[in-house]
Amino acid sequence: MTFLPPLLGRGVPPGRAETVFSAPVVRSDGLLDSAVEYAVDAGQRAVLFWDAMRQAGNAFVEHEEEGCPPVLFFKWDMVVDGRHLPRPVNYALVRIRPPEGAAPLDPKLRPFVIIDPRAGHGAGIGGFKDDSQVGVALRRGHPVYFVIFFRDPEPGQTILDITAAEGAFLRRIHELHPEAPKSVVIGNCQGGWAVMMLGAAQPELTGAIVLNGAPLSYWAGERGRNPMRYFGGLAGGSWPASLLADLGNGKFDGANLVMNFEALSPGNTWFKKYYNLFEKVDSETPRFLEFERWWGGYFLMNRDEIHWIVENLFIGDRFARGEIHAGGGATFNMRAIRSPVVVFASAGDNITPPGQALRWIADVYRDEQEIKTLGQTIVYLLHEDIGHLGIFVSGAVALKEHSEIAETLQLIDSVAPGLYEMVITHDTGGKWQVELQERSMAHIRAHSEEATNEAFPAVARISALNQHLYDVFAAPLVRRMANEKTAELGRQLHPLRLRRTLMSDSNPLMAPVGPLAAEARRRRAPAAPNNPFLAWERAWADMVERSFDAYRDMRDAWFERSFHATYEWLATLGIARVETPAEVPANLLAEAPEVRQALARMAEGGYAEAVVRMMILLAQARGGVRRDRLVRSSAMMRETEPFASMTPEARQALIRTQTVISAMAPTEALETLPKLLPKPADRRRALAAVEGVAGPEADLGDAALAMLARIRTTLSNGGNGAGRPMPFHAAAIPLD
């Protein structure tokens, strides 16, 4: 790669500009001519590359001077400023304005609320382009709100204060949309655990919850693939974060978190993303500058905030185990969440691998039957290879996965409680077809691989010891030496900020780059695609990237071996005691009050109970439900009686109760159907409604078709299991 460093330090004499920036007039197929053509092209690309870096540096300086505002693509209006709440926080709720020419929003539709991660960067990644989570919701007519945050935290704010503020935001949205269902709350990355804390603390406020690349089980992962979970242990626990916050005069610099993320993939951090810009500088520059504006904005946290996050989540993994204190002696218990939860993860995500995104399900619930018993609906969606940031920013993901999630959320209230995987495929017409397939806890454990071992509890014990030693002996000295001037100087000299500042116009050495770039654009002469030197350049780039990857793999393997060797050895000395959970009796769920109450009322009810029970039995037999059936089911329950007269809460309670009955006692649930429908006319009507939702029998599958036949026989025979022949359609049920 030719970066032309001499051209950056001095101007180009006018007489030589033609030779530097122009291709030769006479061309041939000779290697020499190809070399000259490539040299001109590479020289021009090098100048344009450095100009793109200069523009990124200028944008960084401007963004910092503006206070790092959100990078939202859409215009917005302030709704609630958290800095003015009784417990001030640097968070705020804003309402997204629909773009000009867009269809008007329907205030009765379910609002969407997006919470971005405060993990070093600023807010806005969930809506920094048109094809995004925000754009998907707006195009469907939903009101969209965004939770932003400011660069500097409010003095004394805590994570619990932020949770309380987000509750206030949701209450305000409900006041603005009194006729709409509860808001869908979307949490991106670390915004995911914030949403789950809110749902656990105030379950009455949240509608469906969507977790995108959200790490909730930090100990989970696969050996040899997920090294980030070892970093805290190798650093000795949480004390380095406290040290950095004390050096920052009580504020932790988010640039340190970003640097940790970048360290995961040195090939991309130090080479690939820059080579990609150099190689495609004519087309790649706008995208590079757009993303750099967000990636290069660094935010601050209070010392207590970062200490809480590291101790409770990164090191302690306490959320999934229900050990995070919520104040007043209570703890955050994810079992208290009653809203449907949708989890989106990717196998290509090395920051939040599927294990960390999904393992909490197996930690919180005994099995999939308990999920049904508690009336909970959990849906997960796995991507094969998209990276962590691609989950939030990829336009292709927005147009497929996020669009299909948003479409499914409109029907989520019609989904029976249980654990499902959302599977997206193409139908014969080329459109996306979505099916929710029932899954067991074994599937979750298979994705999470190693969830815990003796090493991780040992890390938590050592971290607590090291933190105590630091707080007693080192922290007082560090805090005495630090002040706001030294803290700000340290922030400005941070490598991530410095490398951007040095590329801006504030560096005199960058002065010639702008004029040279203008001349390069005017005389741009790209090399032919078949130029052999371009192929050699790409081969060299691949070799460099592979070298970085080899270094990364060796480093990660060493980290993993060192981590396990150190902490498993400490565990053998009794540093950590891993408690084996007591065996849960197999009949525990059957003895639960909710189950006993539902089973006791199995033969009680009427048409509504029978229809819902039959649809659930069919779905259980098939092992899932296609979205087109959910569309028909949802329409039936909104538009036909007696369902239309019910409140949404009553319909959901009905579905939960019939799910418990069908899951815990499927045979009895089937046999008692005639008691719910004593009149033949009601049986015929109910079966016709179920057949209408089920759709063509050819699409049902053998298991569901067999269950439908059993339902028909049961209703035809009045529940005695014998006698009259099995009818094939609802019309065949006798009316006398």
Contact indicator for 112, 177 with CB cutoff of 8 Å: no
Q: What is the pLDDT of residue 625?
A: 87
In the three-class reduction of DSSP (H, G, I as helix; E, B as strand; rest coil), residue 88 is classed as: coil
- Write down the domain spans for the chain: 76-219+317-450, 588-732
Distance CA 131, CA 401 (A): 12
Distance CA 184, CA 410 (A): 10
pLDDT digits (tens, 9 = 90+) for 715-735: 988 654 433 443 444 444 443
Question: Is the pLDDT at 588 greater than 70, yes or no?
Answer: no
Average pLDDT over residues 473-500: 96
**Lowest-confidence range among 246-250, 497-501, 589-593?**
589-593
| Highest averaged pLDDT of the listed ranges 2-6, 184-188, 349-353 | 184-188
Q: Which long-range contacts (CB under 8 A, 24 or more apart) does 503-508 make?
A: 503/53, 503/54, 503/56, 503/57, 504/54, 504/57, 504/58, 504/60, 504/61, 505/54, 505/57, 505/58, 506/57, 506/61, 507/57
Q: What is the pLDDT of residue 457?
A: 87
pLDDT digits (tens, 9 = 90+) for 521-551: 999 999 999 999 999 999 999 999 999 999 9
| Highest averaged pLDDT of the listed ranges 4-8, 311-315, 485-489, 578-582 | 485-489
C-alpha separations of 302 from 157, 194, 299, 481, 668 in Å: 7, 17, 11, 18, 58
Terminal-residue alpha carbon distance, the chain: 87
pLDDT digits (tens, 9 = 90+) for 596-633: 888 898 999 999 999 999 999 999 998 888 888 889 99
pLDDT digits (tens, 9 = 90+) for 261-310: 999 999 999 999 999 999 999 999 999 999 999 888 999 999 999 999 99
pLDDT digits (tens, 9 = 90+) for 316-338: 888 888 889 887 778 899 989 98
Encoded amino acid at 151, one letter: R
Q: What is the pLDDT of residue 452?
A: 62
Contact indicator for 155, 128 with CB cutoff of 8 Å: no
Distance CA 196, CA 89 (A): 19
Strand pairing category for 251-253 and 300-302: antiparallel
Q: What share of the chain in percent tops pLDDT 70?
A: 90
Please give the distance of CA 654 from its chain centroid, rounded to a whole number: 31
Peptide bond into 642 cis (omega under 30): yes
Strand pairing category for 377-383 and 209-212: unpaired
- In this structure, whether the domain defined by 76-219+317-450 belongs to CATH 3.40.50.1820 is answered with yes
251 φ/ψ angles, rounded to the nearest 5 degrees: -125, 130
Residue 561 corresponds to which tokens in the numbers above?
A: 């071996």
pLDDT interval class at 398 (50, 70, 90):
confident
pLDDT digits (tens, 9 = 90+) for 488-513: 999 999 999 999 999 999 999 999 99
Q: What is the mean pLDDT of the chain?
A: 88
Average pLDDT over residues 218-231: 84
Contact indicator for 735, 689 with CB cutoff of 8 Å: no
Question: Is the pLDDT at 688 greater than 50, yes or no?
Answer: yes
Distance CA 659, CA 653 (A): 10
Distance CA 734, CA 111 (A): 47
Question: Is the pLDDT at 17 greater than 50, yes or no?
Answer: no
Q: Which long-range contacts (CB under 8 A, 24 or more apart) does 36-40 make?
A: 37/525, 37/527, 37/528, 37/531, 38/527, 38/531, 38/533, 38/534, 38/537, 39/2, 40/525, 40/527
Residue 25 CB coordination number (10 Å) = 5
Average pLDDT over residues 663-681: 92
DSSP letters of 486-552? HHHHHHHTSHHHHHHHTTSTTSGGGTTHHHHHHHHHHT--PPPTT-HHHHHHHHHHHHHHHHHHHHH
The candidate with the shortest Cα–Cα distance to 143, out of 165, 170, 116, is 170
Residue 400 CB coordination number (10 Å) = 14
